[in-house]
């Protein structure tokens, strides 16, 4: 009997289900906010990356409408054909001034930007060195590239130094780390990373998707939060879809690097440009982030309050001072059970499981936003404590 083509699809899906690793998308109704509506039920939303509460902010909704009136909706083409509107240039210059960087290239997503950089800059004779907990977009790009890739232990500068010292003969070396790690919430020691790269003639790239807008002076990110200029990092990348509440991404660096992207990066050259109305809205969001310090102050207060209550209730909180506050559970099926229990209590908190995180480190990924109130956090912590204790009693 002939083998059915692509039979592995069903086999692997069934395997995922048996391992409690199966995933599916759940549609929400309406806007991102303090509460989300799913199948007609309201849930306190503790799974959003909308850290500053901008995704549904009336000022940004109006900005998108105004942008559509001024510039239309679709860009009409790639950036090198007809898809680069004057608003793209204006907002790019605004971002450069705000972030203190020399030049910027816009991308449709952070995933695309990360894949583009690794594919563009590195060949089989080069060396890519990544923090072990870097985002899947970075790891996958390295694994699918002909470049030699090595990983250093998470935030372990000594291990990074060992790798760099053992590869002095390689000319092109790129070290990549997240600024704020998306599943752990902790921050990279950027100053030490930079020192090692400078000492070993390597470039440093920081993926700051979860740091931009939240950390640093005027929300300029993880790098500035450690008293380093963004322009001193060889490649600084981030997205507009987390704290800025919109979508899209950018890569910044020297004018020469951005010129090289413009001329040689296929994901940049052959992708339709970001919609101009959306870019206009990004500009307004950046202005709000830059000028409304109260959002970061309020978020910091909520983070401190959550950590205080978590300690009081002895929750297995992982070390993080950012809006990402993971609670380590361990087994995937246990994390799912606790997450489902919380949903019954009206709390939406996602269980994060392998392969997104290492085996036996499944967790509840609690994310805090300025939309939350202290009473929400009090309710959340008590419900998590009850769910964990109930699971232990079974």
At residue 86, the pLDDT reads 96
- Mean pLDDT, to the nearest integer, of 238-245? 98
Q: Is the pLDDT of residue 394 over 70?
A: no
Rounded to a whole number of angstroms, the CA Rg of the chain reads 22
At residue 1, the pLDDT reads 64
At residue 390, the pLDDT reads 84
The residues that bridge with 150 in the sheet, in sequence order, are 129
Q: Do 132 and 176 contact (CB within 8 A), yes or no? A: no
Which of the two residues, 392 and 246, has the higher pLDDT score?
246
Q: How confident is the model at residue 358 (pLDDT cuts 50, 70, 90)?
A: confident
At residue 94, the pLDDT reads 98
pLDDT digits (tens, 9 = 90+) for 194-213: 999 999 999 999 999 999 99
Percent of the chain scored above 70 by pLDDT? 99
Q: What is the number of alpha carbons within 13 Å of residue 193 lying toward its C-beta? A: 30
In 122-252, which ranges are continuous DSSP H helix?
A: 136-143, 157-165, 190-199, 222-225
In the chain, which ranges are continuous DSSP H helix?
A: 8-18, 58-71, 86-99, 110-121, 136-143, 157-165, 190-199, 222-225, 255-264, 266-269, 276-291, 293-312, 332-344, 374-393
Lowest mean pLDDT among 1-15, 124-138, 317-331: 1-15
- Mean pLDDT, to the nearest integer, of 154-170? 97
Nearest residue to 35 (alpha-carbon basis) of 12, 56, 63? 56
Q: Do 254 and 103 contact (CB within 8 A), yes or no? A: yes
Question: How many of the other CB atoms lie within 10 Å of CB of 204?
Answer: 23
At residue 346, the pLDDT reads 95
Q: Do 368 and 295 contact (CB within 8 A), yes or no? A: no
Q: Do 48 and 369 contact (CB within 8 A), yes or no? A: yes
Angle of helix 190-199 relative to helix 157-165, nearest 10 degrees? 10
Lowest mean pLDDT among 31-35, 159-163, 381-385: 31-35
Nearest residue to 128 (alpha-carbon basis) of 120, 113, 116, 118? 118
pLDDT digits (tens, 9 = 90+) for 47-105: 999 999 999 999 999 999 999 999 999 999 999 999 999 999 999 999 999 999 999 99
- Run of H or E residues at 38: strand 35-38
At residue 21, the pLDDT reads 77
- Mean pLDDT, to the nearest integer, of 4-22? 87
Lowest mean pLDDT among 8-12, 19-23, 90-94, 226-230: 19-23
**List of domains in the chain:** 21-50+294-393 (3.90.1150.10), 58-291 (3.40.640.10)
- Mean pLDDT, to the nearest integer, of 287-303? 98
Q: How confident is the model at residue 159 (pLDDT cuts 50, 70, 90)?
A: very high
Q: Is the pLDDT of residue 5 over 80?
A: yes
Q: Is the pLDDT of residue 3 over 80?
A: no
Lowest mean pLDDT among 2-6, 50-54, 115-119, 362-366: 2-6
Question: How many of the other CB atoms lie within 10 Å of CB of 6?
Answer: 8
Residues annotated as catalytic are: 49, 135, 178, 182, 207, 210, 242
At residue 26, the pLDDT reads 83
| Sign of the CA dihedral running 191, 188, 97, 81 | positive
Which of the two residues, 255 and 352, has the higher pLDDT score?
255
Q: Is the pLDDT of residue 392 over 80?
A: no
């Amino acid at each position: 009997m002939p083998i059915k083509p692509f039979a592995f699809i069903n086999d692997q899906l069934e395997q995922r289900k048996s391992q409690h690793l199966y995933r599916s998308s759940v549609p929400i109704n309406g806007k991102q906010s303090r509460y989300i509506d799913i199948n007609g039920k309201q849930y306190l939303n503790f799974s959003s990356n909308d850290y500053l509460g901008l995704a549904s902010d009336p000022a940004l909704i109006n900005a998108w409408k105004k942008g559509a009136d001024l510039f239309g909706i679709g860009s009409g083409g790639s950036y090198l054909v007809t898809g680069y509107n004057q608003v793209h240039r204006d907002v790019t210059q605004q971002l450069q001034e705000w972030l203190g960087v020399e030049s910027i290239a816009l991308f449709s997503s952070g995933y695309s930007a990360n894949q583009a950089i690794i594919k563009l800059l590195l060949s089989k004779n080069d060396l890519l060195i990544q923090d072990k907990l870097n985002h899947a977009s970075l790891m996958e790009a390295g694994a699918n590239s002909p470049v030699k890739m090595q990983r250093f232990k998470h935030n372990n500068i000594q291990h990074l130094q060992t790798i760099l010292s053992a590869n002095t003969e390689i000319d092109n070396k790129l070290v990549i780390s997240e600024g704020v790690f998306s599943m752990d919430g902790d921050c990279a020691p950027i100053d030490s990373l930079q020192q090692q790269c400078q000492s070993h003639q390597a470039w440093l790239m920081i993926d700051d998707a979860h740091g931009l807008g939240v950390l640093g002076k005027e929300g300029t990110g993880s790098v500035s939060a450690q008293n380093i200029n963004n322009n001193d990092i060889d490649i600084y990348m981030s997205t507009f879809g987390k704290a800025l509440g919109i979508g899209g991404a950018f890569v910044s660096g020297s004018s020469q690097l951005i010129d090289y992207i413009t001329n040689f990066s296929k994901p940049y050259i052959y992708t339709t440009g970001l919609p101009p109305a959306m870019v206009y809205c990004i500009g307004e969001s950046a202005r709000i982030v830059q000028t409304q310090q109260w959002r970061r102050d309020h978020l910091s207060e909520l983070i401190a309050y959550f950590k205080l209550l978590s300690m009081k209730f002895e929750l297995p909180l992982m070390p993080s001072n950012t809006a990402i506050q993971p609670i380590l559970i361990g087994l995937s099926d246990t994390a799912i059970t606790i997450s489902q229990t919380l949903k019954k209590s009206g709390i939406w908190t996602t269980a994060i499981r392998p392969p997104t995180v290492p085996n036996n480190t499944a967790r509840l990924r609690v994310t805090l936003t300025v939309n939350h109130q202290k009473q929400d956090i009090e309710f959340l912590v008590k419900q998590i404590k009850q769910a964990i204790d109930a699971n232990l009693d079974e």
